[in-house]
Amino acid sequence: MDNRNAVWRHVDAQSERLIALSERVWGMPEVCYTETRSCAEHVAELRHQGFRVTEAVAGIPTAVMGEAGDGGPVIAFLGEYDALPGLSQEAGVAEHRPVEAGGHGHGCGHNLLGSAALLAATALKDWLAETGTPGRVRYYGCPAEEGGAAKAFMVRAGAFADADIAISWHPGSFWEVAPPVALANTRADFVFTGRTAHAAAAPHLGRSALDAVELMSVGVNYMREHMPSDARVHYAYLDAGGIAPNVVQAGATVRYSIRARDLPGMLALVERVKKIAQGAALMTETAVEVRIVSAVSNLLANDPLERALHDVMEELGPPHFDEADRDFAGQIRATLTDGDIDAVFRAIGMPRTEAPLADFLVPLDAPRNPAVGSTDVGDVSWVVPTVQAHAPTVAIGTPFHTWQVVAQGKTPAAHKAMVQVAKAMAATGARALTDAALRDAAKADLARRVGAAGYVSPLPPEVEPPLGMSLGR
């Protein structure tokens, strides 16, 4: 039985409400673990749509789960709604124009991500009710994807234990099945403690925590030559010890993000960075404490689900953009560099075109070279067969985590892509509900990739969700 057209009808019927949700969330950008209003908007919509709602999933105040249906398989849709700091930007203008100096903005398009996932879940719920098909559909509202690893904490708490299939998406430049590549990642704070002193009268009595942080940075930079080429290490000062240069800084804190291709490689790299910190403390006669903030696993592929999603995306086709959409995308492209645009085409292994918006499906077997980041979807992919789509919400080449993404977050083109990808996800969910062979193949593929050792959370057992991390705590 072909369920796709019926499910697509249900997406269209609910699209206006969910587009409005995406716009409201765009207008209230909230960063890692502070998404109180954005979560409340999703909870209100879940209740309006008749989902059974569970709040504070895994003890996280801004995590929510809505469920509908009875019996049968469980299809999970993963949504997000967190923003990024410092990316405030007016919508619909192709120049840098912050709404609020230093304010937040949806520079990764998560206002669209959560709304489209909820749209897909709602459509599949309505299809279940219309057809009497046994099965359950869930929407997981997941905060703090940007560095907070909320899904990893939710996985550790068993929130996905009985899900059969997980489906998600991410805004992007192209219409494609998302390459199943993401780095394992740990965020850790290195807190150095020394001894204050008068920097002129008695510097020999002081022990500088700031010196220790700087020496740690030197050590990590020397290590870069001797670590895998696809590993990444980044840092940010949380506390540089104060503003008085005539006082030896007794305390300083630096946050590191440490990434590698897989979990064992990442954990080994974390240990090397810890040794460098200990060496910096030894050189400066200070003390160092390592505090793990969050951690995520690498992303696992799932061949059967990727083929199923690709088939749906091929039949459905990319979003239908008009001249006004292409005109504004062209204005955004004028703010980008050739390097920005060339980079996204290299990522999909296809020659560059000058079209401002993607009007084609990237082949599943394209020789991809994706830009690699990290995501807490990785942990879900270790316990549930998982697949993700990309949809062209932005002009081709738009770098993410920039004001240009925020500027495009409420455009008609972004809304068209959001609705189209909701159709792709909902139709894939309907197929997974009615095709036991697909579910079995997806689970077998996952078992083969996980191996006998199974999933081991990268989060140390004593680490709790860092609810205050956006406040520097």
SS (H, E, C) 234-252: EEEEEECCCCCCCECCCEE
- Identify the structural domains of the chain with CATH numbers, from first to last: 4-180+298-448 (3.40.630.10), 182-294 (3.30.70.360)
Calpha distance 289→282 (Å, rounded): 13
DSSP characters over 92-124 = T-SS---SSTT--B-TT-HHHHHHHHHHHHHHH
What pLDDT is stored for residue 472 in this prediction?
Answer: 60
What pLDDT is stored for residue 1 in this prediction?
Answer: 46
What pLDDT is stored for residue 366 in this prediction?
Answer: 87
**Mean pLDDT confidence for 127-145:** 96
Contact 81, 133 (CB under 8 A): no
Torsion of CA 44, 46, 51, 53, to 10 degrees: -60
- The pTM for the full model equals 0.94
What pLDDT is stored for residue 373 in this prediction?
Answer: 87
**Mean pLDDT confidence for 232-240:** 96
The pair of structure tokens assigned to 120 is 């897909």
List the one residue out of 76, 460, 457, 72 whose CA is nearest residue 64: 76
> Which amino acid is present at 464?
E
pLDDT grade for 367, boundaries at 50, 70 and 90: confident
The pLDDT tens digits for 369-424 are 776 789 999 999 999 999 999 999 999 999 999 999 999 999 999 999 999 999 99
Q: Inform me whether the pLDDT recorded for 64 exceeds 50.
A: yes
The pair of structure tokens assigned to 416 is 């068209």
pLDDT grade for 473, boundaries at 50, 70 and 90: low
CB atoms within 10 A of CB 274: 16
**Mean pLDDT confidence for 330-335:** 97
Q: Inform me whether the pLDDT recorded for 3 exceeds 80.
A: no
Mean pLDDT of the chain: 96
What percent of the chain has pLDDT above 90?
94
Contact 267, 349 (CB under 8 A): no
What pLDDT is stored for residue 432 in this prediction?
Answer: 97
**Mean pLDDT confidence for 127-132:** 95
What pLDDT is stored for residue 47 in this prediction?
Answer: 98
What pLDDT is stored for residue 369 in this prediction?
Answer: 79
The pLDDT tens digits for 177-209 are 999 999 999 999 999 999 999 999 999 999 999
Calpha distance 405→387 (Å, rounded): 24
Q: Inform me whether the pLDDT recorded for 4 exceeds 70.
A: no
Calpha distance 87→406 (Å, rounded): 7
Q: Inform me whether the pLDDT recorded for 58 exceeds 70.
A: yes
Torsion of CA 316, 319, 322, 327, to 10 degrees: -150
pLDDT grade for 368, boundaries at 50, 70 and 90: confident
Q: Inform me whether the pLDDT recorded for 268 exceeds 70.
A: yes
List the one residue out of 405, 374, 440, 458 whose CA is nearest residue 172: 405
Calpha distance 425→117 (Å, rounded): 8
